[in-house]
A and B are shown apart, each in its own frame.
Chain A
């Protein structure tokens, strides 16, 4: 067993080394992050996309919902840089408007599912007594058929939320909640698996033996070491949330039809593949670019926060 060889020599070394060299670990993370080329490229593209969807509508000021029926199914032109759809709506304006919703849904839903997943995963892995209950809960959520669940949630809460927050915010909250609550299980299981393994590693055993309290142990030693699968889940989570939202719209459970999102634009465009390829290329490209840039940011963050790489 190779593992047993290093058990006496190495447990605390990387941690203490870091503490000695730098007073502010976050500044250090930032320095490391900036030297990661992919991550910086990701940050710039992502910022660009966010700026575009936030400011774009002020520059390209065609109403995304305006139907110019006479100029339907057009290709790219100066007036309509991404062409028009089959009812004469401007695709560029729709992609910009859709981006606001999709990005908001993707990021919020991912954050919700990640928080839930990490919390459940760390708890279950770390506290043996909670493991059984939490993992059975995870099994339950994995087994729940999502569509009927959605129908029930929407039936119960749509009208209430609509009257309190208005139709758009109300539906937004509902969708984020539904996507978040049905996608945390994989993260939870992965994190738990890693924590189970970590718990028996020397650094944790050592920290425990000197009487470190559990919450400190989790934040100091467990959490930084499970960051990497969490980062992967996060980057995949953004894409998954954007796509899930499109599937919901398709089933009539998503946003109202005059409320574009990238996923729905893509879905609505697929039947028109032969007539007007621009209808799938642009929303598809927008989703892919977002997912890619988020992924590179995730890679950079992971590397920057990894104490072993950072030390070098």
Chain B
């Protein structure tokens, strides 16, 4: 297992390099333009100058290698400097990856937004797991019971209704009609006392629920079907015939063996916690990483899109490795060698 993990980690480096190159090429090919949002009254000659000042005049491979150096060497060095408060070499003239629209270092922008994304999207994921796993287990155990039918119905409706719709409906009900919750997320709010905590809690309810229910719908389907598969396995009968109590059979043996597809879904979902939930963040105006990404894509802010997507890629590779290792723990018979 350890050898496998190390081998995979080593293999991840060339993989990520290839991914970074493909993303960069893709963004370079894409026809959107960083000057598209400027007022049309600004003439094209000025636009060309702006593009040159962004470094767009240089050939493709130079720009890629520059980005690679800035991201792989300069940014880590900078992080180390900040963390231990030391200076390595000539840190003043070291170029950082800068966003075209804000002209600020992209890594700082991400760091600025990570707390919101982690709290809102992260909590919504926890909520989703907390809702989905029990529903999945119970509906499988009592297949075709009323609970199962209702659970199936609600989760399928939940999945088939997009977040742009649920979000707006919730806003119309709870903000416009009832006036209980704010429709716009106040990102300048700092939690210092009970009142600000309540305010923070109130503004998080709607986005967390919208996302949580959407994810729970999907997770609970996989949980239920996987439980059903395992409930009919021979080992369950064996375990029961050995006289193990029902809760032990279900919660220890069946649940554990049913987790493989669910672990996959969660492992694929966790990196997207980082990338945020684009539509939900947009609707409630949460300044998360998702909003940063969509804004950067719309504004053709290539350094930002490239960096955010690449960090996303790193997380995907890592979490998929974790999922593979978890498979081995959940089912010791799985071997990779």
Q: Which A residues have a C-beta under 8 Å from some C-beta of B?
A: 2-3, 5-6, 10, 38, 128, 131-132, 135-136, 138-140, 142-145, 147-149, 151-152, 155, 185-186, 189-190, 193-194, 196-197, 199-201, 225, 228-229, 231-232, 235-236, 239, 242-243, 246-247, 263, 266-267, 270, 273-274, 280, 284, 287-288, 290-292, 295, 299, 302, 306, 308-309
Distance from A157 Cβ to chain B, minimum over Cβ atoms (Å): 12
Cα(A185)–Cα(B153), bound, Å: 26
Can you give 30 A-B contacts (C-beta < 8 A)?
Answer: A3-B235, A38-B149, A136-B15, A139-B320, A140-B19, A143-B313, A144-B309, A145-B293, A145-B305, A147-B294, A151-B30, A151-B31, A152-B31, A185-B268, A189-B264, A189-B323, A193-B261, A200-B333, A228-B226, A236-B221, A243-B162, A267-B164, A273-B172, A280-B165, A284-B161, A288-B157, A288-B160, A291-B156, A292-B153, A308-B233
Cα(A311)–Cα(B307), bound, Å: 54
Interface-central residue, A145, A267, A295, by most chain B CB under 10 Å: A145
Contact A197 B260 (CB under 8 A): yes
Cα(A147)–Cα(B320), bound, Å: 23
B29: A residues at CB distance < 8 A: 152, 155
Answer yes or no: B336 CB below 8 A from chain A CBs: yes
Nearest first, the 9 closest Cβ-Cβ pairs linking A and B are: A143-B313, A291-B160, A200-B333, A148-B30, A308-B232, A239-B160, A151-B30, A10-B234, A190-B261
Given contacts A139-B320, A194-B261, contact A263 B229 (CB under 8 A): no
Distance from B15 Cβ to chain A, minimum over Cβ atoms (Å): 5
Cα(A200)–Cα(B334), bound, Å: 7
A140: B residues at CB distance < 8 A: 15, 18-19, 22, 313
Q: Which of B311-326 contact A (CB under 8 A)?
A: 312-313, 316-317, 320, 323
Contact A246 B162 (CB under 8 A): yes
Contact B225 A232 (CB under 8 A): yes
Main secondary structure of the interface of B (DSSP, over half): helix
Contact A145 B232 (CB under 8 A): no
Interface-central residue, A193, A247, A295, A306, by most chain B CB under 10 Å: A193
Given contacts A228-B225, A284-B161, A288-B161, contact A309 B26 (CB under 8 A): no
Cα(A152)–Cα(B229), bound, Å: 42
Binary flags per residue of B1-45, CB closer than 8 Å to A gives 1, else 0: 000000000010001001100110011011110000000000000
Interface-central residue, A143, A147, A239, by most chain B CB under 10 Å: A143
B200: A residues at CB distance < 8 A: none
Kindly identify which residue among A155, A185, A295, A308 contacts B156, using a CB–CB cutoff of 8 Å. Answer: A295
Q: Which B residues have a C-beta under 8 Å from some C-beta of A?
A: 11, 15, 18-19, 22-23, 26-27, 29-32, 144, 149, 152-153, 156-157, 159-162, 164-165, 168-169, 172, 218, 221-222, 225-226, 228-229, 232-235, 238-239, 242, 253, 260-261, 263-265, 267-268, 271, 279, 293-294, 297, 305, 309-310, 312-313, 316-317, 320, 323, 327, 331, 333-336
Contact B260 A193 (CB under 8 A): yes
Cα(A135)–Cα(B316), bound, Å: 11
A270: B residues at CB distance < 8 A: 164-165, 168
Cα(A201)–Cα(B162), bound, Å: 39
Cα(A302)–Cα(B15), bound, Å: 36
Distance from A45 Cβ to chain B, minimum over Cβ atoms (Å): 12
Closest B residue, CB atoms, query A231: B225
Given contacts A186-B268, A193-B260, A193-B263, contact A5 B309 (CB under 8 A): no
Contact B297 A302 (CB under 8 A): no
A290: B residues at CB distance < 8 A: 160
Contact A148 B19 (CB under 8 A): no
B22: A residues at CB distance < 8 A: 140, 144
Contact B159 A139 (CB under 8 A): no
Cα(A236)–Cα(B23), bound, Å: 28
Contact A309 B232 (CB under 8 A): yes
Cα(A10)–Cα(B241), bound, Å: 15
